[in-house]
Amino acid sequence: MLISSRENPIIKETAALVKSAAARRESRSYLAEGLRLCYDAVVSGVRPRRCFITKEADERWPAECAAIRGASFESCEIPPSVAEKLSDTVSTQGVFAVCDLPENVFSAGEDGLYVVLAGLQDPGNVGTILRTCEAMAVSGVLLCGCADEWSPKVLRASMGSLFRLRTSVFPDGFAALEALSAAGCETWASALDRDAVKLPEARFSAKCAIFIGNEGAGLPEELIKACSRTVFIPMPGRAESLNAASAAAMLIYQWSAGRC
Amino acid sequence: MLISSRENPIIKETAALVKSAAARRESRSYLAEGLRLCYDAVVSGVRPRRCFITKEADERWPAECAAIRGASFESCEIPPSVAEKLSDTVSTQGVFAVCDLPENVFSAGEDGLYVVLAGLQDPGNVGTILRTCEAMAVSGVLLCGCADEWSPKVLRASMGSLFRLRTSVFPDGFAALEALSAAGCETWASALDRDAVKLPEARFSAKCAIFIGNEGAGLPEELIKACSRTVFIPMPGRAESLNAASAAAMLIYQWSAGRC
């Protein structure tokens, strides 16, 4: 199918998925953009509802585009002007896929690490942490009041790890804590508290969760108290300040290093 | 002094510092933007050549603005229209300071960790790593062919740590390696090499340097060979992929944890 008008209703509907979390929720779908991300999606077993590919992209990356088209229920050719309308980037590659939002199912049956992100607002941080979680084989990620994981910026920063990670969404950190405790998880709050367990000395149990808070405010005090333990990252420098994704990297690394 | 025109030559010259590394090098100065960053600069001992503050900012944050003005050799009041011209952000706070570029002096006299960034292109990554370096009390950062540390995006992501860190610029990683070796530093290359030392098992000496490479390509093969050791971060997950700033966080954390 060829769609050549930017005013086509399918294009308008698809463009809304880029801008609005409400549109994504309502249609139960999101838009992946870029050759690498769309190809990653189909290789990871995602079957897009519909893909949009420009002739230029098809000529440049024939094998990958054929794979994306082959996995999609419907495929559309679009001109560069329509690609620009769908794009969230400065210079688009002209490759897009509308994919189903996965079911929001939580399970903490297996041993491993569960990472809880509570109130993280920066999409780059959320995506970067998801990428770290996949690389370090985290068992599940619980998102509580964070930047929408299916927004274009989070998807991009996650480098496709969202297609392979188990994520679930909770209204807040307390709801996540309840679910994790019910599943027999040890729960660790990370906080700037010098009386807490120092990260290099933390002994995480086989099934545990680490809670990571908002960029500026950290975790709410009551949530910290409600967790079984509190851990802090010793910072010998002058400013006690780490980017949230960097702090998450250290926490997840320490857990992983203890398993080597 | 009141400057009310966007076409004023001082404003044009200052706006160039935001956009162009060449303009920064030529004038030996950079522009800090934002209340927090400018205040951080003067509290850290920076004496701006000139500050620009809107009346609105002055009324909102009188104490901080007075401190910034007091530390500056010259201060200008500007209207919001001029603030917008100087700004690199979507909604500016109306507080700016033109500061001297520090001298590019390298020294690795003391024991500690030296972090070498070779070819990092993303300003957010460079700034985030600088922030981690300050928090973990790294002794020096060597920048080799990276995004310009004094660009607005790096400054912002570094959260002011640039004002307190010792950084130096080298044309490439080999020049940095030579300087570090001459100073008696042990040099570690970080690489995706499963035969290298696993990070949790790395025993860093009291004076050592860790080399971190480009986001996509990593470190050049010859540079890895020229370093005394190679370290890799074990990634048990499916995709072997970490954001450069997250990898740096793990490397620097492991070094710091060994010192606890």
Test mutation, A113, A201, A246, A254, chain B, max B CBs within 10 A: A246
Tally of CB atoms within 10 A around A79 = 16
Would an 8 Å CB–CB cutoff place A241 in contact with chain B? yes
* The amino acid at A206: A
* Residues of B with Cβ-Cβ distance to A238 under 8 angstroms: 134, 137, 164
Q: What is the pLDDT of residues A77-102, one digit of tens each?
A: 999 999 999 998 888 999 999 999 98
pLDDT at A120: 96
pLDDT at A90: 84
CA-to-CA distance for A227 and A220, rounded, in angstroms? 11
CA-to-CA distance for A210 and A252, rounded, in angstroms? 8
Q: Hey, are the CB atoms on B260 and A128 less than 8 Å from each other? A: no
**Complete edge-to-edge strand list for the sheet that includes strand A229-232:** A167-170, A140-144, A112-118, A207-212, A186-190, A229-232, A197-198
User: Which are the contacts of A50, defined by CB distance < 8 A and separation ≥ 6?
Assistant: A10, A14, A72, A73, A74, A75, A76, A97, A98
pLDDT of A103 higher than 90: no
Q: What is the pLDDT of residues B225-249, one digit of tens each?
A: 999 999 999 999 887 789 999 999 9
pLDDT at B65: 97
- Ordered by where they begin, the domains of chain B are 9-100 (3.30.1330.30), 112-257 (3.40.1280.10)
CA-to-CA distance for B16 and B23, rounded, in angstroms? 6
Pick B245's closest partner by Cβ from A138, A245, A256: A245
CA distances B201 to A159, B233, B250, Å, are 28, 10, 13
The ipTM, to two decimals, is 0.92
CA distances A41 to A89, B33, B142, B187, Å, are 19, 40, 38, 39
From first CA to last CA, the distance across chain A in angstroms is 51
Q: How many CB pairs under 8 A join A and B?
A: 128
Q: What is the pLDDT of residues B56-89, one digit of tens each?
A: 999 999 999 999 999 999 999 999 999 999 998 8
Length of chain B counted residue by residue: 260
* Residues of B with Cβ-Cβ distance to A235 under 8 angstroms: 135-137
CA-to-CA distance for A131 and B12, rounded, in angstroms? 41
What are the phi and psi torsion angles at B162 (to 5°)?
-60, -30
| B positions 146-185 inside 8 Å of A (CB) | 157, 159-161, 164
Test mutation, A129, A163, A243, chain B, max B CBs within 10 A: A243
Q: Which residue of A has its CA nearest to B250?
A: A250
Pick A242's closest partner by Cβ from B131, B157, B259: B131
Would an 8 Å CB–CB cutoff place A250 in contact with chain B? yes
pLDDT at B54: 97
Tally of CB atoms within 10 A around B237 = 19
CA-to-CA distance for A165 and B238, rounded, in angstroms? 10
